[in-house]
Amino acid sequence: MSGAGIMLMSGDLPKGSVCTTNGVSEIIEQLQYTLGEGPCVDAVRQHRAVLEPDLARPATPRWVAFTPPAVRAGARAIFGFPLDVGAVRLGALNLYRDRPGPLTDDQHADALVLASVAARAVIGMQADADPGALGAELEVGTNFQFAVHQASGMVSVQLGVSVGQALVRLRANAFADDRLVADVAREVISGRLRFDHRDGRARSGR
Protein backbone atom coordinates (compact mmCIF):
# COMPACT_ATOMS: atom_id res chain seq x y z
CA MET A 1 0.00 0.00 0.00
CA SER A 2 1.08 3.57 -0.63
CA GLY A 3 -0.99 5.12 2.14
CA ALA A 4 -3.99 4.89 4.44
CA GLY A 5 -6.52 7.00 6.29
CA ILE A 6 -9.44 6.63 8.68
CA MET A 7 -12.69 8.49 8.06
CA LEU A 8 -15.34 8.76 10.77
CA MET A 9 -18.97 8.90 9.68
CA SER A 10 -22.14 10.23 11.27
CA GLY A 11 -24.95 8.18 9.81
CA ASP A 12 -24.29 8.21 6.06
CA LEU A 13 -22.32 11.48 6.08
CA PRO A 14 -18.56 11.98 6.51
CA LYS A 15 -17.75 13.48 9.91
CA GLY A 16 -14.04 13.86 9.31
CA SER A 17 -10.69 12.14 9.01
CA VAL A 18 -8.80 11.29 12.19
CA CYS A 19 -5.69 9.74 10.68
CA THR A 20 -3.74 9.91 7.41
CA THR A 21 -0.31 8.51 6.61
CA ASN A 22 0.84 11.01 3.98
CA GLY A 23 -0.16 14.00 1.88
CA VAL A 24 -2.03 11.99 -0.73
CA SER A 25 -4.06 10.22 1.96
CA GLU A 26 -4.96 13.58 3.48
CA ILE A 27 -6.17 14.87 0.11
CA ILE A 28 -8.25 11.71 -0.40
CA GLU A 29 -9.92 12.11 2.98
CA GLN A 30 -10.56 15.83 2.44
CA LEU A 31 -12.12 15.07 -0.95
CA GLN A 32 -14.48 12.54 0.60
CA TYR A 33 -15.40 15.01 3.34
CA THR A 34 -15.93 17.82 0.82
CA LEU A 35 -17.87 15.81 -1.77
CA GLY A 36 -19.68 13.25 0.37
CA GLU A 37 -18.61 10.40 -1.93
CA GLY A 38 -15.75 7.93 -2.24
CA PRO A 39 -14.71 4.48 -1.02
CA CYS A 40 -15.08 5.21 2.72
CA VAL A 41 -18.55 6.70 2.27
CA ASP A 42 -19.71 3.72 0.20
CA ALA A 43 -18.10 1.19 2.56
CA VAL A 44 -20.16 2.55 5.46
CA ARG A 45 -23.38 2.97 3.49
CA GLN A 46 -23.15 -0.48 1.92
CA HIS A 47 -21.73 -2.15 5.04
CA ARG A 48 -19.05 -3.96 3.04
CA ALA A 49 -15.60 -3.55 1.54
CA VAL A 50 -15.53 -1.31 -1.54
CA LEU A 51 -12.69 -2.14 -3.91
CA GLU A 52 -11.57 -0.14 -6.96
CA PRO A 53 -8.41 -1.66 -8.48
CA ASP A 54 -8.12 0.92 -11.28
CA LEU A 55 -9.44 4.31 -10.28
CA ALA A 56 -8.46 5.95 -13.57
CA ARG A 57 -10.15 3.26 -15.70
CA PRO A 58 -12.88 1.68 -13.56
CA ALA A 59 -14.96 -1.16 -14.96
CA THR A 60 -18.05 0.62 -13.60
CA PRO A 61 -17.66 4.42 -13.37
CA ARG A 62 -18.58 5.87 -9.97
CA TRP A 63 -17.60 8.82 -7.78
CA VAL A 64 -17.84 11.28 -10.67
CA ALA A 65 -16.70 14.23 -8.55
CA PHE A 66 -14.18 12.36 -6.37
CA THR A 67 -12.26 10.36 -8.98
CA PRO A 68 -10.54 13.04 -11.14
CA PRO A 69 -8.88 14.96 -8.26
CA ALA A 70 -8.02 11.71 -6.45
CA VAL A 71 -6.23 10.41 -9.56
CA ARG A 72 -4.45 13.73 -9.99
CA ALA A 73 -3.28 13.49 -6.39
CA GLY A 74 -1.66 10.12 -7.12
CA ALA A 75 -4.22 7.43 -6.22
CA ARG A 76 -4.56 4.73 -8.88
CA ALA A 77 -6.18 1.96 -6.82
CA ILE A 78 -8.34 2.57 -3.75
CA PHE A 79 -10.07 0.38 -1.20
CA GLY A 80 -12.53 1.15 1.63
CA PHE A 81 -13.24 -1.14 4.59
CA PRO A 82 -16.01 -0.37 7.12
CA LEU A 83 -15.12 0.11 10.78
CA ASP A 84 -17.83 -1.82 12.59
CA VAL A 85 -18.18 -3.09 16.14
CA GLY A 86 -21.30 -5.21 16.26
CA ALA A 87 -24.14 -3.10 14.88
CA VAL A 88 -22.24 0.15 15.48
CA ARG A 89 -20.94 1.79 12.30
CA LEU A 90 -18.05 4.14 13.06
CA GLY A 91 -16.52 4.98 9.71
CA ALA A 92 -14.10 3.34 7.31
CA LEU A 93 -10.47 2.53 6.68
CA ASN A 94 -9.20 3.83 3.36
CA LEU A 95 -6.21 2.29 1.57
CA TYR A 96 -4.72 3.56 -1.67
CA ARG A 97 -1.94 2.55 -4.02
CA ASP A 98 -0.05 4.66 -6.57
CA ARG A 99 -0.39 1.94 -9.22
CA PRO A 100 -3.47 0.04 -10.40
CA GLY A 101 -4.18 -3.54 -9.44
CA PRO A 102 -6.40 -5.62 -7.15
CA LEU A 103 -5.61 -6.68 -3.61
CA THR A 104 -4.20 -10.16 -3.17
CA ASP A 105 -6.13 -12.53 -0.92
CA ASP A 106 -3.55 -12.00 1.83
CA GLN A 107 -3.74 -8.20 1.50
CA HIS A 108 -7.53 -8.32 1.66
CA ALA A 109 -7.41 -10.47 4.79
CA ASP A 110 -4.84 -8.15 6.39
CA ALA A 111 -7.01 -5.12 5.61
CA LEU A 112 -10.02 -6.72 7.31
CA VAL A 113 -7.93 -7.38 10.42
CA LEU A 114 -6.58 -3.82 10.38
CA ALA A 115 -10.10 -2.40 10.05
CA SER A 116 -11.27 -4.49 13.01
CA VAL A 117 -8.34 -3.33 15.16
CA ALA A 118 -8.91 0.30 14.13
CA ALA A 119 -12.63 0.09 14.95
CA ARG A 120 -11.94 -1.19 18.45
CA ALA A 121 -9.31 1.51 18.95
CA VAL A 122 -11.83 4.20 17.98
CA ILE A 123 -14.40 2.74 20.39
CA GLY A 124 -11.78 2.81 23.16
CA MET A 125 -10.85 6.43 22.45
CA GLN A 126 -14.52 7.40 22.57
CA ALA A 127 -15.18 5.70 25.90
CA ASP A 128 -15.01 8.87 28.03
CA ALA A 129 -16.26 11.37 25.42
CA ASP A 130 -19.49 13.31 25.85
CA PRO A 131 -22.40 12.24 23.60
CA GLY A 132 -21.93 13.68 20.11
CA ALA A 133 -18.33 14.74 20.82
CA LEU A 134 -15.03 13.24 19.73
CA GLY A 135 -12.65 11.75 22.27
CA ALA A 136 -9.57 13.87 22.98
CA GLU A 137 -7.22 11.45 21.22
CA LEU A 138 -9.37 11.51 18.08
CA GLU A 139 -9.54 15.30 18.00
CA VAL A 140 -5.77 15.48 17.45
CA GLY A 141 -6.16 14.31 13.85
CA THR A 142 -9.06 16.53 12.84
CA ASN A 143 -7.44 19.93 12.29
CA PHE A 144 -9.01 20.59 8.90
CA GLN A 145 -12.48 19.73 10.23
CA PHE A 146 -12.08 22.30 13.01
CA ALA A 147 -11.37 24.95 10.37
CA VAL A 148 -14.43 23.85 8.40
CA HIS A 149 -16.68 23.93 11.46
CA GLN A 150 -15.39 27.38 12.45
CA ALA A 151 -15.93 28.70 8.93
CA SER A 152 -19.41 27.17 8.83
CA GLY A 153 -20.31 29.17 11.91
CA MET A 154 -19.02 32.37 10.31
CA VAL A 155 -20.91 31.72 7.05
CA SER A 156 -24.02 30.94 9.09
CA VAL A 157 -23.86 34.44 10.56
CA GLN A 158 -23.03 36.07 7.20
CA LEU A 159 -25.99 34.44 5.43
CA GLY A 160 -28.43 34.14 8.31
CA VAL A 161 -28.81 30.38 7.80
CA SER A 162 -28.23 27.30 9.95
CA VAL A 163 -24.72 25.91 10.42
CA GLY A 164 -25.72 22.84 8.41
CA GLN A 165 -26.86 24.99 5.49
CA ALA A 166 -23.67 27.04 5.77
CA LEU A 167 -21.60 23.86 5.47
CA VAL A 168 -23.52 22.97 2.30
CA ARG A 169 -22.63 26.41 0.88
CA LEU A 170 -18.95 25.90 1.74
CA ARG A 171 -18.91 22.50 0.06
CA ALA A 172 -20.70 23.82 -3.01
CA ASN A 173 -18.21 26.68 -3.33
CA ALA A 174 -15.28 24.30 -3.01
CA PHE A 175 -16.74 21.92 -5.61
CA ALA A 176 -17.52 24.73 -8.07
CA ASP A 177 -13.95 26.06 -7.86
CA ASP A 178 -12.34 22.56 -7.84
CA ARG A 179 -10.84 23.17 -4.41
CA LEU A 180 -10.77 21.43 -1.04
CA VAL A 181 -13.36 22.65 1.45
CA ALA A 182 -10.60 23.16 4.03
CA ASP A 183 -8.90 25.72 1.76
CA VAL A 184 -12.16 27.64 1.31
CA ALA A 185 -12.75 27.48 5.06
CA ARG A 186 -9.34 29.00 5.82
CA GLU A 187 -10.09 31.90 3.48
CA VAL A 188 -13.38 32.53 5.29
CA ILE A 189 -11.66 32.46 8.69
CA SER A 190 -8.93 34.85 7.54
CA GLY A 191 -11.51 37.24 6.10
CA ARG A 192 -10.29 36.83 2.51
CA LEU A 193 -13.65 35.35 1.53
CA ARG A 194 -17.15 36.38 2.62
CA PHE A 195 -20.60 35.14 1.65
CA ASP A 196 -22.99 37.95 0.70
CA HIS A 197 -26.42 37.60 2.35
CA ARG A 198 -28.04 39.46 -0.55
CA ASP A 199 -27.42 36.72 -3.12
CA GLY A 200 -25.55 34.01 -1.20
CA ARG A 201 -22.44 34.33 -3.36
CA ALA A 202 -18.87 34.21 -2.07
CA ARG A 203 -16.76 37.30 -2.70
CA SER A 204 -13.32 38.51 -1.76
CA GLY A 205 -13.47 40.02 1.71
CA ARG A 206 -10.34 42.13 1.43
The half-sphere exposure of 139 on its side-chain side, counting CA atoms within 13 A, is 11
Query: Which is more confidently placed, 62 or 126?
Result: 62
Q: Which residues of 12-27 are buried (b: 16+ CB within 10 A; e: fewer)?
A: eebbbbbbbeeebbbb
The pLDDT tens digits for 95-119 are: 999 999 999 999 999 999 999 999 9
Q: Which domains does the chain have, with CATH numbers?
A: 3-131 (3.30.450.40), 143-204 (1.10.10)
pLDDT at 36 over 90: no
Q: Residue 108's pLDDT is what?
A: 96
Inter-residue contact 82 to 47 (CB < 8 Å): yes
| Paired residues of 25 in beta bridges | none
For residues 69-76, average pLDDT: 95
The pLDDT tens digits for 75-93 are: 999 999 999 888 778 899 9
The pLDDT tens digits for 151-172 are: 888 888 899 988 888 888 888 8
| Paired residues of 82 in beta bridges | 92
Query: What average pLDDT does the chain have?
Result: 85
- DSSP-derived secondary structure for 33-54: HHHS-SHHHHHHHHTS-EEES-
pLDDT at 134 over 90: no
The share of the chain scoring above pLDDT 90, in percent, equals 39
Q: Closest by alpha carbon to 66, among 57, 55, 81?
A: 55
pLDDT at 47 over 60: yes
Query: Which is more confidently placed, 100 or 148?
Result: 100
Q: Residue 10's pLDDT is what?
A: 73
Query: Which is more confidently placed, 88 or 41?
Result: 41
Q: Closest by alpha carbon to 39, among 23, 140, 17, 149?
A: 17
Query: Rounded to an integer, what distance in angstroms lies between the CA atom of residue 151 and that of residue 137?
Result: 23
pTM for this prediction? 0.74
Q: Residue 179's pLDDT is what?
A: 81
